Amino acid sequence: MRRRKRMMEDLDQDIREHIGMETQDNIERGMSPEEARYAAVRKFGNVTRVKEDTREAWSFVWLEQLLQDFGFALRMLARNPGFAVVVILMLALGIGANSAVFTFAEAALLRSWPAKSPESLAKIVATTPQGGTEWFSYPDYRDLSEQCQSLEGIVAWSRHQMTLRVGAESQFVLDDWVSPNYFTVLSVHAQLGRTLSETPDPTRELIVVISDALWHRVFNADPNLVGKPILLTGKSYTVIGIAPPRFRGLQREVPTDLWLPVSMESASELQDRAYHDFELLGRLRPGVTATEAKAEFETIGRRLAEAYPSTNKATTFTLVSESERLRDALFPTFMLMTAVGLVLLICCANVAGLVLARTEMRHREIAVRLALGAGRGRLVRLLLTESALLASVGAGLGLLLASWLLRLQPALLPPAPFEIGLDLRLDSSVLAFTLVAAALTVILFGLVPALPAANLNLIPALKPVQSGPGPARRFGMRNVLVLGEIALSVVLLTASGLLVRSLVYSRGLNAGFDTRKSLVFFDLSPGLAGYNAEASLRFFQQAAEKVGGLTGVRRASFARRVLLSDSEGGAKQRVSIPGVELPQGQPNVPIKFNAVGLDYFATLGTRLIEGRDFRAADGPSGARVVVISETMARRFWPGKNALGQQIVADGKDFQIIGVAEDAKIIHIHEAPEPYMYFPFAQSPINWGTLIVETRGDPRTMVAAIRREIGNVDQNVPVGVRTLNYLLQQAFWEDQTAAGFVGALGMMGMFMAATGLYGLISFLVNRRRHEIGIRMALGAERRDVLRLVLSEGLRLAGIGIVVGCCISLGVTRLMSGLLYGVRPRDPITFATSSAVVILIALVASYIPARRAMRVDPMVALRYE
Amino acid sequence: MSTKEQKERIELLQGTLDLLILRTLVRGPAHGHAIAKAIEFNSDEVLQVEQGSLYPALHRLIKRGWIGVEEGTSENNRRAKFYRLTAKGRRQLAVETSKWDKLAGAIAQILRPAEQEGEP
């Protein structure tokens, strides 16, 4: 740097000397001193240019110019902050959405197995007569790993659920039963302690490896945890190690909390060749190709099919290598990225429109610069610097937006008793992607308007008269784009409007119990603490009695199942009804059922229409009784009284003593169906749910209730759900669809508004002169306003008509998601159209106001 | 400075100025004005250097280390900068010269047959 400065200082003197010498020479040739100096300067050329070029030889000049351009761009943007803000928001939206979707695609599709050299891993799959499957029985796994030569090792894992108790708290955790070679084949090492060893432990001690997430979540990253026992579903396990951070097991969407060696389980299912519960992942031996391994797997499969025809008949094995998996993932990734890339493209088009509108205003400025000797290349660079500045701020904000979007993941997933969701993170590949996206953006929205500006024809542009309407072609394209945006936003708004109306309707549906009550549910599994069904009944009765006695608790009951949740997948019992003709002459019908404790109906607020509730007398020794649903009564005893009738379920007779209102069994949108309530005391089972109605906020009572349950038996695992959680789960689909489409609608609206604003601004700038003439000829401001607004409304009108037509088709496809509102609901269509018109008015009003302020004197002065 | 004189002069090809400067400095250090004059004089005034363009070229060469610069006094006793060829520059001159010869030879070869065709 210093050398350069010295050289540049000397240059001035050098040039002076040079010209001096040349002047001297010229004088010697006989010129007059004045003439001589003039000739010398002319011969030397442009001194400033020479200095510039020389400075360039010292090469930091590009940086200097960049800083200059940068400063200039900042000044230009600061002069028009509204423009800058809109453009930056637009780009942040486009780039942010792209980065978020890319992150998702990376985590969901592209990311390799969380293991060392994942490229040599291959998922083992089977084809059975029923179709392809990734699930294997443990005996099949053993045979495969023993017989197979082409793989270095195969790991097996199977997902289960346990309760972890720490202090008085217990919670659900997800564990994987894994083959002992799991960690060695994957080459995953414990961050603390050790992982499982391949040789089984002779002491047959119960051991467990826990995840980093669980270690932090539950054990506050206690460094002394290794070697200590933890309580899992009533048994004590020794923690032997903590898995490394970020290792979440082999299932992308649902992280594993604990790993247990499968060898500890002597469960009979491990011997059962028909029990397909294990997923297999193998590591290819070095030098073995996937094709060779596949051939070997086929052979082994055939051998097993012959040896065990009852379970393995017509079953073949093969594997999916990592490169095949990636290849399969590319197409969905591509589709995803194309869709969201289109959003970025529209953003760019809009921004280009805004920039174009602005360049139109700057024509004269650019022409003056060109006339004063600015190089066209330099000018393009100047405009590009401006674009790059906007794009980089946009990209920065976009990344913030993306990280915020990714943090929304839990809200987009259905509520679950354990942690689910992809491991989404903005890592270097996402940053690289964002950079590329931003660079493309600069090229797309920066260069397109910059090039014509640099090729400006000086003479007409310098003339003060504004050019008239430009070539129609460019308008055509932009008109179509803006029309498309308006139509799209109408479609999205209509769709989200319908979904919101449907959600409001669903929220108002009668669930068959009182959803305004303060209810809290405790899922209890006495079976896991060694209880049988009869002992469990006593446990539930005691728990309900103790909890019911707490101050702050209004009522407590219990049931085998909770409404609005798919516990047991809605299991049914076959029921025959003496004296009633069943459909299609069937001897019996499957009907969903529940087993409930005393006070169940009162606790939940389910109305009994006829008959009576269960009594303490309806116990194991009493007469068998049942309460049925309204729909069941109406279906089998139409027009008659169902009370006192008999049904036969599970080979036993039951007398109907009551009819309850219909309740939503699994899903809020299901049609009412027959349902039966048996007294828990007459058909007990060793798990169930304690249902508690509290007087105040149920959350404040949870700890006290748990303590009370613990007083009955503290070894019984407890899971807690609030009514709110239950409802969230029930409405998750509707809420997510409405929220998601609504967000898209907002985005579409923003884009349509920006697009329209850019187009109308462009038009207004082009027609300044014409507007000036109109005003000079006596047009009122009002007329100008009308002129511009009508332009915007014309576009909006066409867009809305097109959008409504598309909506008619789209909403018909959505009809499966809509409840209580027709897909052609006129109110929704009218509302979304009105919203779009409003937005169009605002978007055109801003440039219209500018048009009204055109001073005819200024616009016409240079005529 | 007549128009006729201007017409006979040829503008330098891009990049050849560096070569000419190096060649000129083989004869010893010279100041800027002297280099310009030497190029014009040695080419029988066919090659015209816009004298200003000499300076960016000189600075480029300094930066590459092909020439050095030192203070001195000109023939009419003025203080001036003298540019001198470095060892590196001398080697570069050889490279550039052979490159130029090849280029000139190649172009001549392309052009010569055309002349012969035109002769008969």
Interface test with B, best of A16, A24, A28, A44 (most B CBs within 10 A): A44
State pLDDT tens for residues A270-305. 888 878 889 999 999 998 888 999 999 999 999 998
- Minimum CA–CA partner of A20 in chain B: B33
Q: Classify residue A486: in a domain, yes or no.
A: yes
Yes or no, beta carbons of A57 and B74 under 8 Å apart: no
Question: A322 in a domain, yes or no?
Answer: no
In angstroms, rounded to a whole number, what is the distance separating the alpha carbons of residues A609 and A631? 12
Cβ–Cβ < 8 Å for A196, A261: yes
Indicate whether A593 belongs to any domain.
Answer: yes
- Domain boundary residue among A729, A758, A773? A729
- Under an 8 A CB cutoff, do B33 and A17 touch? yes
Same domain, A230 and A161: yes
Contact check, Cβ <8 Å, A21/B33: yes
Question: Quick one: tokens of A305?
Answer: 């099919």
Q: How far is CA A448 from CA A80, A341, A380, A743, A754, in A?
A: 20, 18, 10, 30, 18
pLDDT tens figures, A46-87 = 777 777 777 777 766 567 777 888 888 888 888 878 888 888
CB contact under 8 A, A17 and B55: no
Q: Pick the residue with more confidence: A586 or A799? A: A799
Of chain B, the percentage scoring pLDDT greater than 70 comes to: 76
**A474 found inside a domain:** no
B32 neighbourhood in chain A, CB within 8 Å: 14, 17-18
Identify whether residues A192 and A153 lie together within a single domain.
yes
Mean pLDDT in residue range A698-714: 87
Q: Considering the domain boundaries, does residue A139 fall inside one?
A: yes
CA distance A39 to chain B (A): 10
Report CB contact under 8 Å: A43, B51: yes
- The shortest CB-CB distance from B50 to any of A10, A45, A56 is to A45
- Residues A289 and A280 sit within 8 Å (Cβ to Cβ): no
Which of A22, A46, A57 is nearest residue B59 as measured by Cβ atoms?
A57
Q: Is A317 helix (H, G, I), strand (E, B) or coil?
A: strand
Among chain B residues, CA nearest to A57: B60
Number of Cβ within 10 Å of residue A732's Cβ equals: 15
pLDDT in tens, A599-610: 999 999 999 999
Contact assignment for A17 to B32 by CB distance below 8 Å: yes
Query: pLDDT value at position A479?
Result: 81
The answer on A496 and A349 residing in a single domain is no
Which of A75-89, A620-634, B72-86 is predicted with the least confidence, judged by mean pLDDT? B72-86
**Candidates B12, B33, B60, partner chain A, best to mutate (most A CBs within 10 A):** B33
d(CA B75, CA B78): 7
Q: In terms of domains, do A455 and A565 share one?
A: no
A14 contacts on B by Cβ (under 8 Å): 32, 55, 80-81
Q: Say yes or no: A404 and A528 in one domain.
A: no
Give the per-residue pLDDT at A791.
86
Top residue of B39, B49, B59 to mutate, by most chain A CBs within 10 Å, is B59
Do the chains contact at A14 and B53, CB–CB below 8 Å?
no
- What gap in Å lies between CA A793 and CA A789, rounded to an integer? 6
Contacts of A10 in chain B (CB under 8 A): 81
Same domain, A352 and A308: no
Instruction: Give the integer Cα–Cα distance in Å for A186 and A153.
Output: 9
Same domain, yes or no: A411 and A549 = no
pLDDT tier for residue B44 given thresholds of 50, 70 and 90: confident
In total, the C-beta contacts within 8 angstroms joining chain A to chain B are: 64
A370 within 8 A of A61, measured Cβ to Cβ: no
Judged by CB atoms closer than 8 Å, whether chains meet at A54 and B32 is answered as no
Q: Which residue of B has its CA nearest to A51?
A: B56
Q: Is the pLDDT of residue A225 over 70?
A: yes
Collect all residues of chain A within an 8 Å Cβ-Cβ radius of residue B14: none
pLDDT range class, residue A863, cuts 50, 70, 90 = very low
Identify the domain containing residue A402 by its residue range.
Answer: 81-115+330-464
Mind listing the pLDDT tens digit for each residue in A678-697?
999 999 998 899 999 999 88
CA distance B87 to chain A (A): 21
Q: Does the structure show a pLDDT above 60 at A862?
A: no
Q: What is residue A616's DSSP assignment? A: T
Least confident of A398-402, A544-548, A654-658, B31-35: B31-35
Q: In this structure, are residues A590 and A623 in contact, taking their beta carbons and an 8 Å threshold?
A: no
Euclidean distance between CA atoms B72 and B79, whole angstroms = 6
Decide which of A201 and A310 is more confident.
A310
Q: Mean pLDDT over all residues of chain A? A: 84
Say yes or no to pLDDT of A611 above 70: yes
Count of structural domains within chain A? 5
Nearest to A18 among B32, B50, B56 (CB): B32
The Cα A536–Cα A680 span in angstroms is 10
Q: Which of A189-198, A383-392, A467-476, A585-594 has the lowest mean pLDDT?
A: A467-476
Smallest CA–CA distance from B82 into chain A, residue: A14
Do A336 and A105 meet the contact criterion of CB atoms below 8 Å apart?
yes
The residue of chain B with its CA nearest to that of A53 is: B56
Residues A104 and A147 in one domain: no
Same domain flag for A602 and A687: yes
- Is pLDDT larger for residue A39 or for residue A377? A39
**Partners of residue A49 in chain B, C-beta under 8 Å:** 52
Q: Do A11 and B52 touch (CB under 8 A)?
A: no
Asked whether the predicted pLDDT for residue A676 surpasses 90, the reply is: yes
b/e map of A313-333 (b: 16 or more CB within 10 Å)? eebbbbbbbbeebeeeeeeeb
Q: What is the mean pLDDT of residues A109-138?
A: 87
- Tell me: pLDDT of B119 over 70: no
Q: Is the pLDDT of residue A442 over 50?
A: yes
Q: Which 3 state secondary structure label does DSSP give A715? A: coil
Is the predicted pLDDT of residue A546 greater than 90, yes or no? yes
Residue of A nearest to B55 (CA): A54
pLDDT classification of A265: cutoffs 50, 70, 90? low
Number of H helices, E strands in chain A: 27, 22
Task: Determine the residue of chain A that is closest to B53 in CA distance.
Answer: A50
Asked if B50 lies within 8 A of A21 by C-beta distance, the reply is no
- Which tokens hold the place of A670? 């299901």
Residues in chain A: 863
Amino acid at A703: A
**B-interface mutation test, from A18, A43, A55, most B Cβ less than 10 A away:** A18
Shared domain for A420 and A501, answered yes or no, is no
Name the minimum distance, in Å, from the CA of B119 to any CA of chain A. Answer: 40
Partner residue facing A11 (CB), from B36, B50, B55 = B55
pLDDT bin (cut points 50, 70, 90) of residue A837 is very high
Helices (H), A308-375: 309-312, 322-361, 363-371
Distance CA A24, CA A27 (A): 5
In a domain, A497, yes or no: yes
Residue B6's pLDDT band (cuts 50, 70, 90): very low
Minimum Cα–Cα distance from A47: chain B residue: B52
CA end-to-end span of chain B, whole Å?
39
pLDDT score recorded for residue A453? 65
Residues of A with CB under 8 A from a CB of B: 7, 10-11, 14-15, 17-18, 20-22, 24-25, 39, 43-47, 49-50, 53-54, 56-59
Q: Which of A54-63, A109-118, A172-181, A193-202 has the lowest mean pLDDT?
A: A54-63
pLDDT per position as a tens digit, A714-741: 878 788 888 888 888 788 878 888 888 8
Shortest Cα–Cα distance, A788 to chain B (Å): 55
Residue ending a domain, choose from A703, A729, A755: A729
* A373 Cβ neighbours under 8 A, 6+ residues apart: none
pLDDT digits (tens, 9 = 90+) for A252-262: 888 899 999 88
The identity of residue B67, as a single letter, is I
Is A810 part of a structural domain of the chain? yes
Residue B56 has its nearest CB partner, among A39, A47, A57, at: A57
Q: How many residues does chain B have?
A: 120
What three-state secondary structure class fits A521?
A: strand
- B32 vs A14, A39, A53: nearest CB: A14
Q: Closest CB to B52: pick one of A7, A20, A47.
A: A47
Q: Nearest CA of chain A to the CA of B114: how many Å? A: 37
| Yes or no, beta carbons of B52 and A7 under 8 Å apart | no
ipTM attached to this prediction: 0.77
Residue B80 Cα, gap to closest chain A Cα (Å):
7
> Do A184 and A306 have their domain in common?
yes
The residues with which A693 forms a beta bridge, in sequence order, are A519, A555
Instruction: Flag whether pLDDT at B17 surpasses 90.
Output: no
Q: A588: helix, coil or strand?
A: coil
User: Is the pLDDT score of A472 beyond 50?
Assistant: no
Residue where one domain finishes, among candidates A699, A729, A759? A729
In this structure, the answer to whether residues A422 and A359 fall within a common structural domain is yes
- The pLDDT value recorded for residue A534 is 92
Q: Is the pLDDT of residue A200 over 80?
A: no
> Is A673 within the bounds of a domain?
yes
The per-residue pLDDT for B1 is 41
